[in-house]
Chain A
């Protein structure tokens, strides 16, 4: 197998050449190094005025490392997202698609090329970081581990930014930066889940390398060497970060390859979406049963069955919602699949991109049930609380069906009905319900009905049933309302599919205007 070479990579050089012109390189690197020197010298000078500031080198180390992180993780990934987005929206990427360059080389070029200046700044900052470590109490191995952690985080965020930039290319004149939104969703997903489970070591933090970056400073402050218990296995923080980030980088690379080779398709295929969901569940389980240790090995019980059940159901809801966006075919793709079927051409099987998301949703539900049960068996040995899980399934069920109904309508008919509908069900009605609760001072039944379509309320409310029968009216409202929504949207989606089938079949026949 031939190793890809960056010096012969067209896309990499396309980005590298304008960024690495001497004038630009000198000014950017010069500014970065000046900032670094200013931080180090500034910290040292402070000791002249604040005698207590003896650990100036440690403070300088933290600030210089922070500067590296800002440049590589924030500015670098923003550059990669913007570069990928511009490459796609301008149509320049089509030239590379229509060339014999292997897709792997294109992937490499688009991930590393736009962020080259950020990588160069990072590299230029290494001597300064190591100098601070030597002058202070931070040990060199920890400092090197922190640098390696930054490299891993940089690769992860740059790959994810490139995928988002290609999947949602920036339209001319658009004010929003979609890559920022996407990054926020992905990182927030795991960070948030950590907070929900009450874990002191949210695995989401490993996505940006926070534990490994903080380790040298913690160690310098007389703490014991930190490590992370991953399913009971005591691992160094960098190893845990690798476990969290590397598979996600692989998923993102698979998506990037697809976005380059098949731009009209979803970034991830349905089977890959299921694999990604499985991996995210594994991370969730690891997080729910682990904590950062300072020398001691311990597998801790989660914060409580109700909390864990609710957290798992909410986590599954967010994961399912994000992945459903990828697994649900758009109108054009669904039609194309039906036409291929109609012509008797081979298709990709039951989990083909062009197929309905119904089967995928069922598979996702089964996968979630398996992990939900396993989590309980592993943590408490008892039966899991099913109400929040069933509520999650109902929400997920009507979300996927409504999404399919919305997407299987042509763009000109779609308008903004669906986002408005979701905003009403998930935001406006719950706010009204909350206002009613606040004004009456009690959970009146019709306030529960108003809030019942919102998954955050529904899942939390259904989890409370394990605590007493008093919550049963709220649970009843949640189950009844969402069952109705499920039936309604399933019928609408079925109708939309039937309409397209009829159209595609008719389109195969000669029509007067086509003769």
Chain B
């Protein structure tokens, strides 16, 4: 659905995006992560067709977006960071303008305006001027505008900025629903904990380059999955330290002073975790809690992105 090949964007002396390859399949929510100046916004702007790249191929829904931009943007939802709004228009008029921009028929436009207003819970504000909305409501309106064409491709740059907690939950639900319906979603955000909740794949950018890209599981597998094992016992067990130390997947084993708990770095998968639990039980440990806390996007970013930045 979204394909970029050898994409390069230059600004004077800075190369914002350097020979980037990117692919987001239908039904995928792809999170673009990176520090400020990594090239996320330039990538999204180039994909949306509002910034001419130095070179590179862009394909949206199988259409060459650089040669046939009007066709490629037919079902494209683009939402920039700090989305500009027409503050002198009413809420419904604003959405109606973009219904026209997406060449929807009159009936379809009316339906979409009402549906999108309902989706972002702004139906009650439909006749108010945009300038009268709060910052969060304006951000929701920008999201509603993005949803007007029933997009099959969504390019969202920091969509959650300015949204209140409820708005963020709604955004997450909307993106999940769109992905379920087969849309390809590319979203950049600094709020990494939220991205981990709805992204099926991530790409970490640094100085215009894609440092690593893929599904979270595949990235974990590539960089060496890490997690933290936490064990809690009903009563102290003498062989706990020894049993844990024998497991090759564990490192930095630390048993609590009361002997009722332990924590260790875990680098194995689910099978290794099951084997370890079985070994503990067979050794006679009365395990009350056993769980592996996996790394999330934030941890991956701190390991890969932060290292590159430093």
Residues on A facing B (Cβ under 8 Å): 8-11, 13-14, 17-18, 90-92, 94-102, 262-265, 331-332, 335-336, 339-340, 343, 345, 410-412, 507, 513-514
Contact = CB atoms under 8 A, between A and B. Distances in A.
B12 A95 contact: no
Given A13-B97, A94-B80, A410-B13, A100 B55 contact: no
A345 B55 contact: yes
B71 interface: yes
B214 interface: no
Nearest to B48: A98
A502 B190 CA distance: 37
B102 to A, nearest CB: 6
Contacts, number: 99
B98 interface: yes
A336 B10 contact: yes
A339 B10 contact: yes
Nearest to B65: A98
Interface string B80-91: 101011101110
A10 B101 contact: yes
A14 B86 CA distance: 8
Instruction: List 5 tightest A-B contacts by C-beta distance, closest first.
Output: A10-B101, A18-B88, A10-B100, A99-B101, A94-B50
Contacts of A99: 73, 76, 98, 101-102, 149
Contact of B76 (A90, A98, A263, A332): A98
Contacts of A91: 80, 82, 84
Contacts of B82: 91
B49 interface: yes
Contact of B15 (A8, A98, A101, A507): A507
Given A13-B96, A101-B100, A102-B70, 14 more contacts: A8-B100, A13-B93, A14-B97, A18-B86, A18-B89, A94-B48, A95-B145, A97-B49, A98-B48, A100-B74, A263-B52, A335-B12, A513-B207, A514-B207
Contact of B98 (A10, A336, A339, A345): A10
A94 B70 CA distance: 13
B275 interface: no
B102 A92 contact: no
Nearest to A335: B10
Contacts of B93: 13, 17
A410 B12 contact: yes
Contacts of B97: 10, 13-14, 17
A96 B50 CA distance: 9
A95 B78 contact: yes
B201 to A, nearest CB: 23
20 contacts: A10-B100, A11-B101, A14-B86, A17-B97, A18-B88, A91-B80, A94-B45, A94-B48, A94-B50, A95-B98, A95-B145, A97-B50, A100-B102, A101-B70, A264-B52, A331-B12, A336-B10, A345-B55, A410-B13, A411-B12
Contacts of A264: 51-52
Contacts of A90: 84
Interface in B39-76: 45, 48-52, 54-55, 70-71, 73-74, 76
A100 to B, nearest CB: 5
B283 interface: no
Contacts of B55: 339-340, 343, 345
Interface string B13-36: 101001000000000000000000
A154 B54 CA distance: 38
Contacts of B100: 8-10, 13, 101
B89 A332 contact: no
Contacts of A97: 49-50
Contacts of A14: 86, 89, 97
A101 B10 contact: no
Q: How large is the interface on B (under 10, 10 to 19, 20 to 34, 35 or more residues)?
A: 35 or more
Contact of A101 (B49, B103, B207): B103
B209 interface: yes
Nearest to B155: A98
A412 B73 CA distance: 36
A8 B71 CA distance: 19
Contact of A336 (B54, B85, B96, B209): B54
A415 to B, nearest CB: 14
B84 A92 contact: yes
Give the residue among B74, B93, B98, B100 with the most A Cβ atoms within 10 A: B100
A383 B183 CA distance: 72
Nearest to B18: A514
A101 B51 contact: no
B52 A265 contact: yes
Contact of B101 (A101, A262, A410): A101
B8 interface: yes
B62 to A, nearest CB: 15
Nearest to A261: B69
Contacts of B13: 410, 412
A101 B85 CA distance: 18
A339 B12 CA distance: 12
A209 B110 CA distance: 44
A342 B18 CA distance: 15
A340 B56 CA distance: 10
Contacts of B70: 100-102
B12 A332 contact: yes
Nearest to B74: A100
Nearest to B85: A92
Contacts of B73: 98-100
Contacts of B89: 14, 17-18
A131 to B, nearest CB: 35
Contacts of A514: 18, 207, 209
Nearest to B106: A8
A96 B52 contact: no
Nearest to A332: B12
A96 B209 CA distance: 29
A97 B45 CA distance: 11
A102 B84 CA distance: 21
Nearest to A106: B101
A332 B90 CA distance: 39
A18 B70 CA distance: 27
A8 B97 CA distance: 9
B21 to A, nearest CB: 15
Contacts of A410: 12-13
A366 B90 CA distance: 56
A25 B85 CA distance: 23
A211 B242 CA distance: 103
A166 to B, nearest CB: 14
A264 B53 CA distance: 10
A102 B73 CA distance: 11
Nearest to A264: B52
Contacts of B15: 507
Given A98-B49, A99-B101, A340 B80 contact: no
Contacts of B209: 514
A195 B257 CA distance: 99
B36 to A, nearest CB: 18
